[in-house]
Structure 1
Amino acid sequence: MTDVQGTAVDVPTEDGTADAYLVAPADGVPHPAVLLYMDAFGLRPHLRAMADRLAGAGHTVLVPNVFYRHGRAPVVELPEFIDPGARPEIFERLGPIMASLTPETVTRDARAWLRYLEECPAAADGPVALTGYCMGARLALLTAGTFPDRVAAAAGFHGGHLATDDPDSPHLLAGRITAEVYLAHADHDRSMPPKQQEQLEAALTAAGVRHRCEVYAGARHGYTQADTAAYDAEAAERHWTALLGLLRRTF
């Protein structure tokens, strides 16, 4: 794996300044850019390690703290090992913060993340790829549908609420997506039940989006996150195979 160099950066947005993590191969050459959308637990050592692995595969990776309006990361104090079942107060605090990410704020922020990568010397010219986890999968789909000319690929893992009856449901943007899309749902995930999976698949198919949607059997919501009780090592490695394959096809 390529040596990488990561650093904390600040990204100017329309609503303030967001803290973020930027990592790239240490060769000083511009590389294809990946925007990594965090899960609800936010920018922390595990997500930096995931970004490092992507950078080691030859990419420049930006991981913004999408909760920056509520403070710099960590916005909510987290234990070293996260088990929401044992610590329900974590989601009690995160719930209102997550709800504050409206499609309007997501759009304004996505414009800032994409502009930052467009101007970043470590990022190669051209469209970027997206990968998102849990709520980040929703952000990835919204970004791909809102900025189709800037996104070449979009992946989402154990995402939730991707095809709801809400007027701002992400699946309603399928007709605007030009990127290749890969989505891997968690098995028995209450936030993404079979009905939503079918509705999302139908929307992507009807829109002619190049895509693949899979269910990782036996994997729980959050299966990629090694610092949580939901982690599934086999499913996480399957995710890496799928994601890196998508990036190879894209770049």
Structure 2
Amino acid sequence: MDIMLFHSVQGLRPAVHAAADRLRAAGHEVRVPDLFDGQTAGTVEDGMALKEKIGKEELLRRAVLAAAPYSERGLVYAGFSFGGSVAQNLALGDEKARGLLLMHGTSDIAENAAVDELPVQLHVADPDPFESHDWLTAWYLRMRQAGADVEIYRYPGAGHLYTDPDLPDYDAAAAEETWRTALAFIASL
């Protein structure tokens, strides 16, 4: 499977490369674009400032340029937190998308978004400071209305970026369960 994996707002850090390696070890071809051109942030707050400095339109342009050469193959779009929102936007606009794997983040959904039973899997902390229960309920309903086949997995007590072993949010048990479920999801596509 061809996978386009997008980093969190903290940039292309070692945990994202490790995630890509895990996917490659399962037999997938994985591309990990650096939307921040080598810049990383030590905190979510610093990452948000970096994201704002680059700008939403420029980040989306970079993501589209990274994915465009491979979209004909039928990509699985994946991402961590902010990268999940990027992946979601690209997958909903790519009629050849094979699937969407979101870890820790979602995005608004355009009113005219429509997909043909796009498989979507979301893994999120419970509670999550950026993905409230009300938001996730509305997001789920909107994704279903757009035609997606959605699964949501919640991890009680985990921190926002619980799959990153270099961050204080890390939760080994939740991370391993996420990866087991995510790898099975991708293998089923």
- State the TM-score, normalizing by the size of structure 1: 0.68
Query: For residues 108-144 of structure 1, what are the alpha-carbon distances to aligned partners after superposition, in whole Å with 9 as ceiling and x for unaligned?
Result: 22321223436xxxxxx72011211111111111111
Q: Give the conservation status (yes or no) of the 8 Å contact 1:183–1:213.
A: yes
Quote the offset at 1:220 in angstroms.
1.2
Q: 1:95 to 1:110 in 2, by over 3 A?
A: closer
Closer, same or farther in 2 for the Cα pair 1:91/1:224, shift >3 Å? closer
2:130 maps to 191
Alignment match, 2:70: 117
1:158 equivalent to 2:104? Answer yes
The CA deviation at 1:213 is 1.6
1:162-205 CA deviation, whole Å, 9 max, x = no partner?
3xxxxxx2x23683234211012211212111110110011122
Q: How far, CA to CA, are the matches of 2:179 and 2:112 in structure 1?
A: 24
- 3-state SS in 1 of match to 2:188: helix
Kept after mapping to 1: 8 A contact 2:33/2:63: no
The DSSP-based 3-state class of the residue aligned with 1:55 is: helix
Amino acid at match of 1:156: L
- Look up the equivalent residue of 2:10 and give its one-letter code: F
Query: What secondary structure is seen at the aligned counterpart in 1 of 2:50?
Result: helix
Counterparts of 1:137 and 1:77, CA distance in 2? 17
Q: Give the aligned partner of residue 225 of structure 1.
A: 164
How high is the TM-score relative to the length of structure 2? 0.88
Letter aligned with residue 142 of structure 1? N
Gaps of 5+ in 1: 1-31, 79-89, 119-124, 163-168
Alpha-carbon offset, residue 93 of structure 1: 3.1
Q: Which has the higher helix share?
A: 2
Q: Work out whether residues 132 and 140 of structure 1, in 8 Å CA contact, stay in contact via their aligned partners in 2.
A: yes
1:148 corresponds to which of 75, 95, 104? 95
2:73 aligned residue: 126
Q: Mapping of 1:85-100 within 5 angstroms?
A: 90-99=43-52, 100=54
Letter matched to residue 128 of structure 1 = L
Q: 1:136 aligns with which of 74, 83, 89?
A: 83
Q: Secondary structure at the match of 1:175?
A: coil
Structure 2: runs of 5 or more not aligned: none
Letter in 2 for 1:66: L
Is the Cα–Cα contact under 8 Å of residues 158 and 185 in structure 1 kept in the other structure? yes
Alignment partners' CA distance in 1, 2:49 and 2:156 = 30
RMSD of aligned alpha carbons: 2.1
Which residue in the other structure is 2:141 paired with? Answer: 202
Q: Is the radius of gyration larger for structure 1 or structure 2?
A: 1
CA distance in 2, matches of 1:60, 1:76: 24
How far apart in 2 are the matches of 1:211 and 1:115? 24
| % identical aligned pairs | 26
Task: Summarize the Cα distance change of 1:173–1:148 in structure 2 as closer, same or farther, 3 Å threshold.
Answer: farther
Structure number with higher strand proportion: 1
CA distance in 2, matches of 1:59, 1:173: 33
Q: Note the C-alpha offset of 1:105.
A: 3.0
